[in-house]
Homo-oligomer: A and B are copies of this chain.
Amino acid sequence: MVNFEYYNPARIVFGKDTESETGRLAKSCGAKRVLLHYGGGSIKRNGLYDKVVDSLRGAGLWFTELGGVKPNPRLSLVRAGIALCREQSIDFILAVGGGSTIDSAKAIAAGVVCKRDIWDYYMDGSLTPAGALPLGVVLTIPAAGSESSDSSVITNEEGNYKRYIGSEYLVPRFAILDPEVTFTMPPAQIANGCSDILAHLMERYFTRTPHVDFTDRLLEASMRTVLENGPLAIKNPCDYNVRAEIMWLGTIAHNNLLGTGRIGDWASHDIEHELSAMYDIAHGAGLAIVFPAWMKYVNKAHRDKFVQLALRVFSVSLPLDDADALVAEMIERLEGWYRRMGLPVRLHEAGVGSDRIGQMAARCVEGRGTVGNFMKLSAEDIAAIYSLAL
């Protein structure tokens, strides 16, 4: 186990009808003038917008709005949000949506306070924001974990760069999680969300840090939860209990608790980011394509962790003296789960061919040489992984 610092002061308010607490919670954070930030308008169709607005008004809070956040949230809208906040003397940002909306809100919150252009912080890992406006969240999509994480991922349309920042200032003050809000999500969106949650767990699981058995076991418990509840969530969209398990898991999977004392991998996220930046495919779908290919490429180099995952999570009971067969069976079960969730597991299933593999691989390592910690991957390795996913 390596030394670590763990600090997560996000207040989670979880359960039925908790969105009615929005105004009270924002006020308790000192909010007076609120920017209400959201996505494509589904919150207006399902009634959540009205509930949140009523709660803000009930608490006597002034607010203005900025909608239109898209998946893979865009820098241009972030810049518009920063300008709006400065014009209107906004002192609190309320994100109502999924990971894209929250990440966009985080970028705005930091951008209002920081002196440099916000994109500088995303492009230069040595820069960290010196502060951010306080931020609250009403979550609609269990997936990204951004509702209590310290990070934000933004896409710059000029050049299709997808980059992230992390800072304690970006941890939301509160996050409201009502599983009923997720009942109206399209099946593809819940599938993408579950894939993202599973990926957050696997990225942390695949570590070279020795003696991390407690967090290994917590990660295994969490993986079993998403593997078992994911297909049920698609089959029975209005099962509160199933949605509640997934929603709470989605937060815990990415609030850094499960990464304490260990160095995670994160190569698959980096490899996927190039894919979704280039082709604008959903992050969860991209991960379903990338992760099995990554496993096929790296498993022989560091075998033990794959064997442990096969035994403890996928309950493979093949003999241990043929680890090749054992790990291959585990990867097939994982691919089977992705397929059962309706996700693509090959690039061609997402309409992607081989023509830009070299370009994506080169961009993936740009400015850093390699990606990943479990096994350091060069552009050549990454191209081989994309090819395994064809």
Closest to A2 in B: B15
Q: How far is the CB of A180 from chain B (nearest CB, A)?
A: 11
Contact residues in B for A211 (Cβ distance below 8 Å)? 241, 244-245
B214 and A249 form a contact (CB under 8 A): yes
Contact residues in B for A249 (Cβ distance below 8 Å)? 214
A6 and B11 form a contact (CB under 8 A): yes
The total of chain A residues at the interface (CB under 8 A) is: 40
Q: How far is the CB of A309 from chain B (nearest CB, A)?
A: 14
Within 8 A of B (CB), among A1-27: 1-16, 18
Verify if A213 is at the interface (C-beta below 8 Å from B). yes
Verify if A100 is at the interface (C-beta below 8 Å from B). no
Binary B-proximity of A352-378 (CB < 8 A = 1, otherwise 0): 000000000000000000000000000
Which one, B214, B229, B248, B257, contacts A225 given CB within 8 A? B214
Within 8 A of B (CB), among A200-244: 210-211, 213-215, 217-218, 220-222, 224-225, 228-229, 241, 244
Contact residues in B for A14 (Cβ distance below 8 Å)? 3-6, 260-261
A8 and B5 form a contact (CB under 8 A): no
Give bound CA distance, A225 to B8, whole Å.
Answer: 23
Q: How far is the CB of A308 from chain B (nearest CB, A)?
A: 13
Contact residues in B for A214 (Cβ distance below 8 Å)? 221-222, 225, 245, 248-249, 252
Contact residues in B for A220 (Cβ distance below 8 Å)? 221
Give bound CA distance, A7 to B9, whole Å.
Answer: 7
Which one, B3, B225, B244, contacts A18 given CB within 8 A? B3
Q: How far is the CB of A45 from chain B (nearest CB, A)?
A: 25
Contact residues in B for A252 (Cβ distance below 8 Å)? 214, 257
Contact residues in B for A225 (Cβ distance below 8 Å)? 213-214, 217
Contact residues in B for A9 (Cβ distance below 8 Å)? 7-9
Closest to A178 in B: B3
B248 and A261 form a contact (CB under 8 A): yes
For this complex, 20 residue pairs linking A to B, each with C-beta atoms less than 8 Å apart, are: A1-B241, A1-B248, A3-B14, A4-B14, A5-B12, A5-B13, A5-B14, A6-B11, A7-B12, A15-B261, A211-B245, A213-B245, A214-B225, A214-B245, A214-B252, A218-B221, A221-B221, A244-B261, A248-B260, A248-B261
Q: A interface vs B, CB < 8 Å?
A: 1-16, 18, 210-211, 213-215, 217-218, 220-222, 224-225, 228-229, 241, 244-245, 248-249, 252, 257, 260-261
Add 14 more A-B contacts to A6-B12, A213-B245 (CB < 8 A).
A1-B241, A1-B245, A3-B15, A3-B16, A5-B11, A5-B13, A7-B10, A8-B9, A211-B241, A213-B228, A213-B229, A214-B222, A214-B249, A217-B225
The 6 A-B residue pairs with the shortest CB-CB distance in the complex, in nearest-first order: A3-B15, A217-B221, A211-B241, A9-B9, A221-B221, A7-B11
